[in-house]
Structure 1
Amino acid sequence: MNKRSIFILFFALLIFSVSAEAQCAMCRAVLENEEGQNAAKGINDGIVYLMMIPYILIGGLGYIIYYKFFKTKKELK
């Protein structure tokens, strides 16, 4: 894949992404009983924030490995 197609694919994924709210069953049961949903929204945002960190780290590591592999492959030619 060339850089342009990767950019188009990445841009399309950003445009057509769906927001997701994650919550375990126990947290949902406790938070649904409250009158205000501010606490539930805060918990959801915190869970999503904490789950983004591993994906960013693994994505960065994958990019570094990919870059180093193809850089050495181009230098050998």
Structure 2
Amino acid sequence: MKRKISLFLFTVVSFTLSNAQCAMCRAVLESGEDQSAAEGINDGIVFLMAVPYLLVAVIGYVIYRKYNQPDKSE
């Protein structure tokens, strides 16, 4: 259980520190002087990237719980 928690925390921390711009977005945003726009674009890209992974994780967990329930017919 402790290993699962540490793996989860590592994933969350590394996920928040990631830089998720494509090359074109980075080139356009780095040429400007306003770096807060670049940070906003990074946060938006990371958020949009996180939602599908969370949905797959929740669906996988629900399926796992459904198939690993003890039989109540005994």
State TM-score, norm by structure 1. Answer: 0.79
- For structure 1, the 5+ residue unaligned runs are none
Q: Deviations over 1:34-64 (max 9, x none)?
A: 1120010000000000011000100000001
Equivalent of 1:39, from 16, 37, 40? 37
> 1 CA distance for matches of 2:9 and 2:54?
18
Distance change (3 Å), C-alpha of 1:20 and 1:59: same
Equivalent of 1:53, from 47, 51, 54? 51
State TM-score, norm by structure 2. Answer: 0.82
Number of aligned residues:
69
Equivalent of 1:20, from 18, 21, 42? 18
What letter corresponds to residue 49 of structure 1 in structure 2?
Answer: F
- For structure 2, the 5+ residue unaligned runs are none
Deviates more, 1:61-70 or 1:12-21: 12-21
> 2 CA distance for matches of 1:14 and 1:63?
14
Query: Percent of pairs identical after alignment?
Result: 49
> 1 CA distance for matches of 2:42 and 2:65?
35
